[in-house]
Amino acid sequence: MATKNDAPASNPVNGRVVTIAPPDFQTACFNIKGTAPLVIHKFSAKSRRQMLEKHMAGAQAKKGKAREAKVPEDLFNEARHISTAGWDGIPAASFRKAMIGACRLVDFKMTLARIGFFIEADGFDNDEGTPLIKILGGAPKNLEMIVRNETGVPDVRFRPQWLEWGAKLRVRFDAGLFSLSDITNLVARAGGQCGIAEGRPSSGSGGMGWGLFEIVKGKAS
Protein backbone atom coordinates (compact mmCIF):
# COMPACT_ATOMS: atom_id res chain seq x y z
CA MET A 1 0.00 0.00 0.00
CA ALA A 2 1.43 3.39 -0.99
CA THR A 3 2.08 5.90 1.74
CA LYS A 4 2.67 9.61 1.76
CA ASN A 5 6.42 9.02 2.02
CA ASP A 6 6.41 7.05 -1.26
CA ALA A 7 5.57 10.10 -3.34
CA PRO A 8 8.31 12.31 -4.84
CA ALA A 9 9.09 15.39 -2.78
CA SER A 10 7.49 18.53 -4.22
CA ASN A 11 8.45 21.96 -2.93
CA PRO A 12 7.66 25.38 -4.42
CA VAL A 13 10.83 27.28 -5.34
CA ASN A 14 10.46 30.78 -6.78
CA GLY A 15 6.93 29.98 -7.84
CA ARG A 16 7.83 26.66 -9.47
CA VAL A 17 7.31 23.12 -8.24
CA VAL A 18 10.48 21.03 -8.14
CA THR A 19 9.86 17.28 -8.17
CA ILE A 20 12.64 14.91 -7.08
CA ALA A 21 12.08 11.25 -7.78
CA PRO A 22 13.16 8.81 -5.06
CA PRO A 23 16.31 6.78 -5.78
CA ASP A 24 15.77 3.39 -7.38
CA PHE A 25 18.76 1.32 -6.28
CA GLN A 26 19.18 -2.17 -7.70
CA THR A 27 21.96 -4.75 -7.43
CA ALA A 28 23.57 -6.68 -10.25
CA CYS A 29 25.70 -9.74 -9.49
CA PHE A 30 28.51 -10.95 -11.73
CA ASN A 31 30.88 -13.89 -11.66
CA ILE A 32 34.15 -12.81 -13.22
CA LYS A 33 37.24 -14.74 -14.30
CA GLY A 34 40.71 -13.33 -14.79
CA THR A 35 42.02 -13.36 -18.36
CA ALA A 36 45.44 -12.07 -17.29
CA PRO A 37 47.53 -12.40 -14.10
CA LEU A 38 46.46 -10.40 -11.05
CA VAL A 39 49.15 -8.60 -9.03
CA ILE A 40 48.31 -6.84 -5.75
CA HIS A 41 50.34 -4.14 -4.02
CA LYS A 42 49.21 -2.98 -0.61
CA PHE A 43 51.08 -0.12 1.04
CA SER A 44 52.17 -2.02 4.13
CA ALA A 45 51.75 -0.95 7.74
CA LYS A 46 55.53 -1.18 8.10
CA SER A 47 56.07 1.27 5.23
CA ARG A 48 53.54 3.68 6.71
CA ARG A 49 55.26 3.48 10.09
CA GLN A 50 58.70 4.09 8.56
CA MET A 51 57.37 7.07 6.62
CA LEU A 52 55.87 8.56 9.78
CA GLU A 53 59.13 8.01 11.71
CA LYS A 54 61.06 9.73 8.93
CA HIS A 55 58.73 12.74 8.98
CA MET A 56 58.92 12.97 12.76
CA ALA A 57 62.73 12.77 12.70
CA GLY A 58 62.90 15.79 10.40
CA ALA A 59 66.32 16.85 9.17
CA GLN A 60 68.06 14.07 11.12
CA ALA A 61 66.05 11.30 9.45
CA LYS A 62 68.95 9.87 7.41
CA LYS A 63 71.88 10.55 9.67
CA GLY A 64 73.63 7.42 10.86
CA LYS A 65 70.73 5.12 10.10
CA ALA A 66 71.57 1.69 8.69
CA ARG A 67 69.43 0.23 5.93
CA GLU A 68 67.33 -2.74 7.03
CA ALA A 69 67.86 -6.06 5.27
CA LYS A 70 65.02 -7.11 2.97
CA VAL A 71 63.18 -10.32 3.72
CA PRO A 72 61.38 -11.43 0.51
CA GLU A 73 58.72 -13.47 2.30
CA ASP A 74 57.86 -10.58 4.63
CA LEU A 75 57.62 -8.10 1.73
CA PHE A 76 55.42 -10.53 -0.19
CA ASN A 77 52.99 -10.95 2.72
CA GLU A 78 52.94 -7.24 3.54
CA ALA A 79 51.79 -6.49 -0.01
CA ARG A 80 48.68 -8.69 0.39
CA HIS A 81 45.22 -7.45 1.41
CA ILE A 82 44.16 -9.98 4.06
CA SER A 83 40.59 -9.71 5.33
CA THR A 84 39.42 -10.03 8.92
CA ALA A 85 38.28 -13.55 7.94
CA GLY A 86 41.73 -14.48 6.65
CA TRP A 87 41.22 -14.54 2.86
CA ASP A 88 43.07 -12.52 0.20
CA GLY A 89 41.16 -9.67 -1.39
CA ILE A 90 41.17 -6.89 -3.97
CA PRO A 91 40.18 -3.36 -2.95
CA ALA A 92 36.55 -2.92 -4.01
CA ALA A 93 37.43 0.57 -5.23
CA SER A 94 39.64 -0.97 -7.94
CA PHE A 95 36.58 -2.29 -9.78
CA ARG A 96 34.63 0.94 -9.31
CA LYS A 97 37.53 3.01 -10.65
CA ALA A 98 37.85 0.71 -13.67
CA MET A 99 34.13 1.08 -14.42
CA ILE A 100 34.29 4.85 -14.05
CA GLY A 101 37.32 4.89 -16.35
CA ALA A 102 35.42 2.82 -18.92
CA CYS A 103 32.87 5.66 -19.17
CA ARG A 104 35.44 7.57 -21.24
CA LEU A 105 35.07 4.94 -23.95
CA VAL A 106 31.35 5.63 -24.37
CA ASP A 107 31.32 9.40 -23.68
CA PHE A 108 29.30 9.02 -20.47
CA LYS A 109 29.80 11.70 -17.82
CA MET A 110 32.27 10.38 -15.26
CA THR A 111 30.91 12.84 -12.67
CA LEU A 112 27.56 11.01 -12.79
CA ALA A 113 29.25 7.60 -12.78
CA ARG A 114 31.06 8.45 -9.52
CA ILE A 115 27.74 8.69 -7.68
CA GLY A 116 25.73 6.29 -9.83
CA PHE A 117 27.11 2.89 -8.84
CA PHE A 118 29.06 1.25 -6.02
CA ILE A 119 30.74 -2.10 -5.36
CA GLU A 120 29.44 -4.01 -2.33
CA ALA A 121 32.34 -5.41 -0.29
CA ASP A 122 32.76 -9.04 0.78
CA GLY A 123 34.80 -8.00 3.82
CA PHE A 124 37.41 -5.59 5.12
CA ASP A 125 41.19 -5.47 5.36
CA ASN A 126 42.32 -6.69 8.78
CA ASP A 127 44.93 -3.94 9.06
CA GLU A 128 43.45 -0.79 7.53
CA GLY A 129 39.76 -1.53 7.01
CA THR A 130 39.79 -1.22 3.22
CA PRO A 131 36.60 -2.72 1.67
CA LEU A 132 37.62 -5.89 -0.18
CA ILE A 133 36.37 -8.29 -2.85
CA LYS A 134 37.38 -11.89 -2.11
CA ILE A 135 39.83 -13.47 -4.57
CA LEU A 136 38.62 -16.87 -5.72
CA GLY A 137 41.60 -19.03 -6.61
CA GLY A 138 44.59 -20.75 -5.11
CA ALA A 139 47.37 -19.24 -3.04
CA PRO A 140 49.41 -16.46 -4.68
CA LYS A 141 52.98 -16.89 -5.87
CA ASN A 142 55.77 -14.57 -4.75
CA LEU A 143 56.56 -12.48 -7.83
CA GLU A 144 60.05 -10.95 -7.89
CA MET A 145 60.09 -7.73 -9.91
CA ILE A 146 62.95 -5.48 -10.98
CA VAL A 147 61.81 -1.87 -10.96
CA ARG A 148 63.37 1.58 -11.04
CA ASN A 149 62.92 4.11 -8.28
CA GLU A 150 62.12 7.76 -9.00
CA THR A 151 65.86 8.42 -9.11
CA GLY A 152 66.31 5.78 -11.81
CA VAL A 153 68.13 3.34 -9.52
CA PRO A 154 67.01 -0.29 -10.06
CA ASP A 155 65.47 -2.09 -7.10
CA VAL A 156 63.81 -5.42 -6.30
CA ARG A 157 60.15 -5.69 -5.31
CA PHE A 158 58.10 -8.68 -4.17
CA ARG A 159 54.38 -8.89 -4.92
CA PRO A 160 51.61 -11.51 -4.62
CA GLN A 161 50.54 -12.76 -8.03
CA TRP A 162 47.64 -15.00 -9.13
CA LEU A 163 47.92 -16.56 -12.59
CA GLU A 164 44.36 -17.92 -12.29
CA TRP A 165 41.77 -15.98 -10.32
CA GLY A 166 38.15 -14.97 -10.15
CA ALA A 167 35.66 -13.06 -8.00
CA LYS A 168 31.99 -12.35 -7.46
CA LEU A 169 30.96 -8.73 -7.93
CA ARG A 170 27.84 -7.10 -6.54
CA VAL A 171 27.25 -3.73 -8.18
CA ARG A 172 24.65 -1.50 -6.52
CA PHE A 173 23.44 1.07 -9.05
CA ASP A 174 20.92 3.87 -9.52
CA ALA A 175 18.42 2.51 -12.04
CA GLY A 176 17.40 6.09 -12.81
CA LEU A 177 20.84 6.61 -14.36
CA PHE A 178 21.80 3.13 -15.56
CA SER A 179 20.02 0.07 -16.88
CA LEU A 180 21.15 -3.47 -16.08
CA SER A 181 22.58 -3.66 -19.60
CA ASP A 182 24.54 -0.44 -19.00
CA ILE A 183 26.12 -1.87 -15.84
CA THR A 184 26.85 -5.20 -17.49
CA ASN A 185 28.58 -3.47 -20.40
CA LEU A 186 30.58 -1.23 -18.07
CA VAL A 187 31.81 -4.26 -16.11
CA ALA A 188 32.73 -5.96 -19.39
CA ARG A 189 34.62 -2.89 -20.66
CA ALA A 190 36.32 -2.41 -17.29
CA GLY A 191 37.56 -6.00 -17.43
CA GLY A 192 38.48 -6.13 -21.08
CA GLN A 193 40.00 -2.67 -21.55
CA CYS A 194 40.88 -1.01 -18.22
CA GLY A 195 41.86 -3.76 -15.78
CA ILE A 196 42.51 -3.56 -12.04
CA ALA A 197 45.42 -3.51 -9.58
CA GLU A 198 49.13 -3.48 -10.52
CA GLY A 199 50.22 -3.42 -14.15
CA ARG A 200 46.72 -2.75 -15.51
CA PRO A 201 46.50 -1.36 -19.07
CA SER A 202 44.78 1.83 -17.83
CA SER A 203 47.67 2.77 -15.50
CA GLY A 204 49.72 5.88 -16.25
CA SER A 205 52.62 3.85 -17.62
CA GLY A 206 50.45 1.70 -19.89
CA GLY A 207 50.84 -1.27 -17.56
CA MET A 208 51.87 -4.86 -18.13
CA GLY A 209 48.54 -6.14 -19.42
CA TRP A 210 47.70 -7.53 -15.97
CA GLY A 211 44.40 -7.37 -14.08
CA LEU A 212 42.07 -8.03 -17.02
CA PHE A 213 38.93 -10.14 -16.57
CA GLU A 214 35.69 -11.22 -18.22
CA ILE A 215 32.12 -11.88 -17.08
CA VAL A 216 31.35 -15.56 -16.73
CA LYS A 217 27.76 -15.14 -15.61
CA GLY A 218 25.72 -12.13 -14.55
CA LYS A 219 22.28 -11.56 -13.10
CA ALA A 220 20.22 -8.93 -11.33
CA SER A 221 19.15 -9.42 -7.73
pLDDT value, residue 146? 79
pTM for the model stands at 0.80
**Which pLDDT value is given to residue 154?**
82
pLDDT of amino acid 54: 54
- The span from the first CA to the last CA of the chain, in angstroms, equals 23
pLDDT score for 178: 94
Give average pLDDT by consecutive 10-residue segment, the chain, 221 residues: 48 71 94 97 60 53 62 91 97 97 92 95 96 96 83 84 97 96 96 95 87 81 50
Largest CA distance in the chain: 75
Burial class (CB in 10 A: 0-12, 13-18, 19+), 32: buried
Whole-angstrom Cα distance, residue 209 to residue 195?
A: 8
Dihedral sign for Cα atoms in the order 208, 203, 183, 91: positive
Residue 195, φ and ψ in degrees, nearest 5? 80, 175
d(CA 158, CA 76): 5
Q: Is 56 buried (19+), middle (13-18) or exposed (0-12) by CB count in 10 A? A: exposed
The alpha carbon of residue 63 and the mean position of all alpha carbons in its chain are separated, in whole angstroms, by: 38
Every domain of the chain and the residues it spans: 24-52+70-220
